[in-house]
Structure 1
Amino acid sequence: MNPLVAPEACARDARTALSVNLNKVALLRNTRHLGIPSVTRAATIVLDAGAQGVTVHPRPDGRHIRAHDVHELAELLRDRPHAEYNIEGNPLHNLMDFVRAVKPHQATFVPDTEGQFTSDHGWNLPADAATLRPLIDECHALGVRVSLFMDPLPEAMTHARASGADRVELYTEAYARAHGTPVQADMLARYASAGEAALAAGLGLNAGHDLNRDNLADFLRAVPGVREVSIGHALIADALELGYAETVRDYQRCIGRAFAR
């Protein structure tokens, strides 16, 4: 059985992996025609500094990550067998073309509209299940794990598993907005309930969107079994001040604090 698509053994005490989203590196590069900053150079540095993987979200309008980036990163990662490649996007738009071409470790299905400013909601399950199931099956046939971008709704997790998904990525913007406010604890409880429901359904658990050095450890302490966090905007913003390598090391320290006993 292919280990990428087999039902996941969700060890609650396993340390969370950090996947660096490189979209904002490409966004800056695309403002000029000089090829800098380099997306592949950024990937090399963050992986050398201890990130466990990289993420890209190539949107149909090519505003940041472009087709050549997807292929160049795939080539780079062939020499790094322990680094994971996560490609995210809407499978009804351009995502599946990239999945078929490069066969990443993971495809994260996100229900964005074309031209959407940023991801802002998860899939509506079970309503979207019939649409997603054949695309999930195709990914599995290619040896690609599938994660569904989801709001923290415990009742939706059994539907995500029934659709064939291997993991869900909890959309964490609501938590990030609540962090440091009087509703933080209630919001964390909501995410913890969704995480528990995902694990109970046999899903692996990812998380992402607006996680940063201030809120990451609190989230990981409260939500059980998070296998991977995908962080882009805040991490690249921090890297403008600290550099890629030190920023990755600092995020790994945040993860380490969450798992300290």
Structure 2
Amino acid sequence: MIHLKYPDLFKFRHDSKMRHHLANTFLSITFLASIPWMIMIVPVGLILGGIRAIFGPKPAGRPEKLAKSMPDDDSGISAESAESENSEAATTTTSPNSSENSEDEKEDPPQIFDFKLVTVKQKHLELSENLGVLISEYVARLQKTPVLVTLRDVATLTNVTSSAENTARIPYKKRKMKVMLIPIESISEILEHSKESDGSPVMIYLLEEMESIDILTENRKFVNEIKEIMSENGEMETLDKSTSEFLMIKKDALVWINSGY
């Protein structure tokens, strides 16, 4: 059994404390010194990755580049495709008339009317001798049905006899508005007789589909439209509201609403 004297015991305790403090100091310094390196791991990794991406070896080329670098084994196929393209070009150049004919079929009808004033929905014309004939040809070609709308006596506008089958009467301000189905040939005489108008507008609707005059006058939209036009005496703002195609005849001028030209 070892017996230490008091001085030796004090010296032993002092040395052990010093070693303990030195060990703690070394660990603390090591930990503190490693903190900056731990913080720099992420940015340094990103920087190194960027440098590698910029200056590192390039990846393999895209399939398009590989296809260009491959030997031209399909020269025969490409030659055949070139020949077919040349033959198609030759056929298109040698037959221009066929393409022109197909384009002509899709073109709008030729401009045969001398419009004096054109707005978005209104085209104005002066009444002339052959205007009724031109409009009648247009209506016949497009197979439209003309319907006369007027407050005047029908007999003063056309020689066609009014009957229950072709005429409907709509009450309007103590008067009767006549809605009459007319033949295409009557358009010319209506334009001619409208020059002697009493000031009230005369309209000729050009309808694409119509079963009968009674069904037409049961259409509230149509009835409200013609009543509004009559009440406003054919003002331009009122005409712009319509989606139908019709002729508005006022003395020596004609307004074509929603014309096909």
What TM-score comes out, normalization by structure 1 length? 0.21
**As a proportion of its length, which structure holds more helix?**
2
What TM-score comes out, normalization by structure 2 length? 0.21
Question: In terms of Rg, which structure is larger?
Answer: 2
